């Protein structure tokens, strides 16, 4: 099994480019944000626990997302691997992912990072807010807080995966969606 991680700040285009990658390599796309939004929509206990944290632009507890990822690895069989989008987001999550993949006699195959500057994060999320109506896209303050959270808690993973020789970065800006998709596909081809 392959275990790819799509990495980058909010709004970088992880979800946008996941589809093409998943299709090309027969991977299951797992977005922890989407899984959490489904729990919220279903009104499950997990969704109720996560709702206010997400709306405020905070991360949900590591154990919650780790459990969701492990459950997905256990239950999904008919694929050649997984494409993780939005996970891991903290060092403990990255360490948990190493343990979870090791327990499956495997490891993270590669991390594909899509980088865009903070100003572009604001522009894109403001645009997405009009289309998708996500609660955590709605206010400038929440977007700013998610960017802060990204820098404080998620960015250290760059060093973690660089040290492991697994970090591969493409520019998500400037460029059209098609251009960035081509960069991402070319990068994965080289891994």
Active site residues: 14, 89, 128, 134, 146
Least distance (Å) between residue 55 CB and ligand AMP: 8
Binding characters for ligand AMP, 112-141, by CB under 6 A (x = yes): ------------------------x-----
The residue number whose beta carbon is nearest to ligand AMP equals 33
CA distance 50 to 25: 31
Helical spans, DSSP H, in 107-176: 118-132, 140-149, 156-163
Of 41, 12, 34, 42, the residue nearest 158 (C-alpha): 12
Residue 172, token pair as written in the block: 């998500």
Judged by CB under 6 A, does residue 60 bind ligand AMP?
yes
Instruction: Give the CA count within 13 Å in the CB-facing half-sphere of 32.
Output: 28
Residue keyed to tokens 């040290």: 163
- Residue from 87, 94, 112, 161 touching ligand AMP (CB under 6 A): that is 87
Of 85, 101, 88, the residue nearest 156 (C-alpha): 88
Judged by CB under 6 A, does residue 172 bind ligand AMP?
no
Q: Looking at beta carbons only, is 139 or 182 nearer to ligand AMP? A: 139
What is the DSSP-derived secondary structure letter of residue 61?
P
Q: Looking at beta carbons only, is 40 or 79 nearer to ligand AMP? A: 40
Residue 151, token pair as written in the block: 């820098």
Binding characters for ligand AMP, 90-109, by CB under 6 A (x = yes): ---x----------------
Judged by CB under 6 A, does residue 89 bind ligand AMP?
yes
Give the binding site for ligand AMP (CB under 6 A): 10, 32-33, 36, 53-54, 57-60, 65, 86-89, 93, 136, 146
């Amino acid at each position: 099994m392959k275990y790819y991680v799509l990495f980058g700040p909010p709004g970088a285009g992880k979800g946008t480019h996941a589809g093409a990658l998943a299709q090309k390599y027969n991977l299951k796309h797992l977005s922890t944000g989407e899984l959490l939004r489904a729990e919220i929509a279903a009104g499950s206990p997990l969704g109720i626990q996560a709702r206010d944290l997400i709306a405020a632009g905070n991360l949900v507890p590591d154990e919650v997302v780790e459990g969701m990822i492990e459950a997905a690895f256990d239950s999904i069989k008919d694929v050649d691997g997984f494409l993780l989008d939005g996970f891991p987001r903290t060092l403990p999550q990255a360490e948990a992912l190493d343990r979870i993949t090791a327990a499956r006699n495997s490891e993270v195959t590669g991390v594909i990072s899509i980088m865009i500057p903070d100003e572009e994060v604001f522009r894109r999320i403001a645009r997405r807010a009009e289309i998708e109506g996500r609660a955590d896209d709605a206010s400038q303050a929440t977007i700013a807080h998610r960017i802060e959270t990204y820098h404080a808690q998620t960015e250290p993973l760059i060093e973690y995966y660089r040290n492991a020789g697994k970090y591969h970065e493409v520019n998500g800006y400037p460029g059209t969606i098609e251009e960035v998709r081509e960069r991402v596909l070319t990068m994965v081809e080289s891994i």
